[in-house]
Amino acid sequence: MVRIGRFLRGRVRYRVTPGGVLFLGALTLTGSGAFLTGNNLLFLVFSAMLALLLVSGFLGRLMLLGLKLELLLPKHVAARAVTEAQIRLINLKRLTPSFSIELSGRSNPLTGSLPILKTPVYFPVVAGGGAVEVPVEVTFPHRGRHRENLFVLSTRFPFGFLRREVSIPISWETIVYPAIEPGVRAEGLLESLEGPTATSERGQGQDFYRIRPWEASDGVRMVDWKSTAHTGTLQAREFAREDNISVEIVLDRAIPQGAEERFEALVEECAYLVWTLADRATAFELVCEGQAQTEVYAALRFLAIVVPAVARAGGVEAGGVAAGAGTGSRVVLSAWD
């Protein structure tokens, strides 16, 4: 949330539009003719054009004065994913409306981070003392803590001669999860985890187990009509029960020198595994240097802020997917493999 008026003093940039270039050319010609000929009518036209230019500058600056900008983000945000958000522009001027306001994103010149708002948003009018809220799509370029993003408010009101711009930093902290995107390696790890052990017990799996007499608690969908026709009594189908696999995902923070990009890829693979396993209702545990996370959003928050540690050797023996106790599996993600 930022009040625009604080940033206007000394921060407004002016850009001449093509229409403004034509107007300045006409102003120059009119002024030159007036001073060379001494024609009072030309002096009158020249004065009116100067007054028009001054009024344009005053009104344009007034349009950007007294505005407040708010960005409303959802609770969960992932990198490189298009996220639905809300932009609220509030006009603190009680009587004066603001016309023709355009909001766009801007790269941060200090950090080099890309703008999160890719498509400009246009506000035709914001009434005095009112507010306008519009849905927007934002995209965070990378994971981590995002504390500040730059936005630009601009207007060409009233005549379009000049485009006035003011850069607005909005400061707030947002935890951005790693990008949750399928990759060849992550898909291969998931395939190796498929095929949960089927037990010869009654359950809700998909593998056929046996035919037995139908019970009232089974429901109509369990009836095997072919067996019922043969026996003359209602028969039900039973399926083998599928046990959920417990998966341990181990992330090795230790990386060799210069392997930062590889570590980022591992973090994204880890995030995809965590998200997919949670979506499949498969129990998992994310382990990294003694810290364990078993809840999907807690694991994603941890992956959002985890940083690598340069070392001479890996802290965890790499090996992809390994069998664990019972029906469990162990996935090791390391930059050393």
pLDDT digits (tens, 9 = 90+) for 162-187: 888 888 888 778 899 999 988 778 78
| Whether residues 225 and 328 fall in one domain | no
* Cα 17 to Cα 23: distance, rounded to the nearest angstrom: 10
| Whether residues 93 and 172 fall in one domain | yes
Cα–Cα nearest to 1, from 88, 82, 62: 88
- Numbers of helices and strands, H then E, in the chain: 7, 19
Print the domain residue range for 271. Answer: 184-195+244-333
| Whether residues 168 and 225 fall in one domain | no
| Beta-sheet pairing, 284-288 with 247-251 | parallel
Give tens-digit pLDDT for 56-95. 888 888 898 888 888 889 989 999 999 999 999 999 988 8
| Whether residues 138 and 67 fall in one domain | yes
Q: 171-185, 202-216, 304-318: which has the minimum mean pLDDT?
A: 202-216
Which pLDDT score is estimated for 260? 87
311 three-class SS: coil
| Whether residues 145 and 106 fall in one domain | yes
Question: What is the Cα 192 distance to its own chain's centre?
Answer: 30
Cβ–Cβ under 8 Å, residues 201 and 240: yes
| Whether residues 94 and 155 fall in one domain | yes
Using the predicted structure, report yes or no on whether residue 6 has a pLDDT greater than 50.
Answer: no
Residue 271 corresponds to which amino acid?
A
| Whether residues 103 and 27 fall in one domain | yes
Using the predicted structure, report yes or no on whether residue 3 has a pLDDT greater than 70.
Answer: no
Q: Which residue has the higher pLDDT, 295 or 312?
A: 295
Q: Which helix (H) or strand (E) holds 41?
A: helix 40-64
How many domains does one find in the chain?
3
Give tens-digit pLDDT for 109-157. 766 678 888 899 999 999 999 999 999 999 998 899 888 778 899 999 8
Name the maximum alpha-carbon separation found in the chain.
Answer: 117
Burial class (CB in 10 A: 0-12, 13-18, 19+), 182: exposed
| Whether residues 115 and 26 fall in one domain | yes
Give tens-digit pLDDT for 228-250. 777 778 887 766 544 445 788 88
Cα–Cα nearest to 173, from 154, 147, 150: 147
Give tens-digit pLDDT for 271-307. 999 998 888 888 889 998 888 898 999 999 999 999 9
| Whether residues 293 and 215 fall in one domain | no
The CATH number for 162's domain is 2.60.40.10
In order of 10, 55, 179, 305, the CA distances from 174 in angstroms are 30, 41, 15, 11
Which pLDDT score is estimated for 25? 92
**DSSP code per residue over 188-233:** HHHHHH--PPEEEEEEEEEEEEEEEE--GGG-GGGB-HHHHHHHSS
| Whether residues 67 and 37 fall in one domain | yes
At residue 207 the predicted structure's pLDDT band, cuts being 50, 70 and 90, is low
| Whether residues 142 and 286 fall in one domain | no
| Whether residues 268 and 328 fall in one domain | yes
pTM: 0.70
Q: Which helix (H) or strand (E) holds 176?
A: strand 162-177
Cβ–Cβ under 8 Å, residues 250 and 316: yes
